[in-house]
Amino acid sequence: MSGDVDTPVITIDLDAVDRNIARMQQYCDDHGIGLRAHVKTHKMSRLVQLQAEAGAIGIAAQKLGEAEALATDGLDVLVSFPLIGAVKSERLAALAATCPVTVAVDSETGVRDLSRALHAAGAEAKVLIDCDTGLGRTGLQTPESVVDLAAVVDRLPGLRFVGLFTHPAPPDQSWLPQARAAVENHGLDVTTISVGGTARAFHTHQLPNVTELRVGTYIFGDRACVANESTRVEDCALRILATVVSRPTKTRATLDAGSKTLTSDRARGCDPNSFGLLIEYPEARIAGLYEEHAVVEFQAHASTPDLGEVVTIVPNHACGVVNLHDQADVYRAGVNVGTWPIDARGRTR
C-alpha cells in the first residue's frame, strides 16, 4: 500500500522552535526590551514553559480563555483584548486572584466594569491604555484622549495605570511619545510602553522608549513571516504533512489538507490565491482550497509528486492553523518525540 502516515497532521520542529525563541530573546536582551510571549500563536502550555525558561517577562493572551488556560505560576498575564461587561470582568478578577494580571483597555465603560469586579474580588490589575497608532482596529484615536482615560483608571479601585499599548509597532512614531508626555504632564508615571508583532519585531529598538515587545508568530514562523523577512523558511517550525490523494492530470495534484487544516488565511506579501508553501515542490502553487482538499498546480514538465506521496506544507498563517487542531506531533532532530496537546485551542471567549 502506498501511504503509512495518517495525514493531515501538524508537526512542530523543536530545534527550530529553540532557535526562534533564542534569537528573539537575544534581540530583546541586547536592547533592554522585555519579551512578552503571545500565546495566541501556539496555545500550548509546553511552549509557554520554553519561552519562560528563555527569559520571557510574561505572556500575552488574545482572549481571556487563553489566559485562563495558559497562565503559569508567577508569570504576568496580559489580556491584550478589550474586556467588556460583567461576565468577562468577573472572570478576569478571578484570574487576577491567582496570578499577576495586566489588561489593555480603550473605553471608560470597560475600565469601570473591570474596576467593579476586581475591587469586589479584592484583586488588582495593571492597566495599559490601547492606542490606535495606525492599524484601525481598537484603541484611542488621539494622544490627548489617553490622558482622560488614564486619569479615570488612576481614580478607580482595583486598577493600576502603568502605561501604553499599541499594535503593531507604530507606523506613526510620534503618537506614543506624545501620549506619554501628555500623561506624564498629568502627573502619572508611564512605566510600560508595549508594542507587538513579529513582522517588524527586529526593528523595535528604533522606536523611542519601548519597554516590551509582544510577539507570538516568531516561535513558529510561517509563509507571511518568510515574506516579511522576519523568519527563514528553514526556521519555520510548524508544518503540515499531507498526502497526495488524487492525480487528476499531469499538472495537478490534490492533497488531503484543505481550509479545515490550513485555514483560508492569505499571507501578506504573497500571491493572494496561494495557500501555503510546498517544501518539496517550491515552484508549485497551492492554488485552490476546499474544506478538505488542496489543489496544487505544477508547471508543464515540472517534477510532480506520486499518488500517495506525503508532502510538507509551510502554512500562510501559523496561528490560525494551530487553532484548528487538538494536538501536534513534535520532532527533535527529525525524530518524533511525542504528541503535545494544544491546550487552549478554540478558547475564543
Binders of a second copy among 132-171, rule CB under 8 A? Answer: 132, 136-141
- Name the residue nearer to a second copy (CB basis): 24 or 117: 117
Candidate list 279, 324, 340, 341; residue touching a second copy; CB under 8 A: 324
Query: Residue 74 Cβ, how far from a second copy at the closest point, in Å?
Result: 26
Per CB under 8 A, 23 contacts a second copy = no
Per CB under 8 A, 320 contacts a second copy = yes
Whole-number Å distance between alpha carbons of 269 and 277: 13
Number of residues engaging a second copy in binding (CB under 8 A) = 71
Whole-number Å distance between alpha carbons of 16 and 21: 9
Candidate list 122, 157, 171, 308; residue touching a second copy; CB under 8 A: 308
Report 29-88 residues binding a second copy (CB under 8 A). Answer: 40, 62-63, 81-88
Per CB under 8 A, 229 contacts a second copy = no
Which amino acid type is present at position 321?
A: V
* DSSP β-ladder status, 125-130 and 101-105: parallel
Q: Is residue 177 within 8 Å of residue 136, measured between CB atoms?
A: no
- Name the residue nearer to a second copy (CB basis): 6 or 73: 6
Candidate list 134, 177, 288, 341; residue touching a second copy; CB under 8 A: 288
Q: Residue 148: helix, strand or coil by DSSP? A: helix
Per CB under 8 A, 241 contacts a second copy = no
- Which candidate, 195, 222, 221, places its Cα nearest to that of 208? 195
Candidate list 292, 332, 340, 341; residue touching a second copy; CB under 8 A: 292
Whole-number Å distance between alpha carbons of 30 and 124: 32
Per CB under 8 A, 177 contacts a second copy = no
Query: Residue 132 Cβ, how far from a second copy at the closest point, in Å?
Result: 6
- Name the residue nearer to a second copy (CB basis): 54 or 227: 227
- Name the residue nearer to a second copy (CB basis): 192 or 243: 243
Q: Residue 344: exposed, middle, or buried by beta-carbon count in 10 A (0-12, 13-18, 19+)?
A: buried
- Which candidate, 6, 1, 114, places its Cα nearest to that of 64? 114
- Which candidate, 283, 258, 285, 282, places its Cα nearest to that of 271? 285
- Name the residue nearer to a second copy (CB basis): 33 or 127: 127
What number of other Cβ atoms are within 10 A of residue 228's Cβ?
17
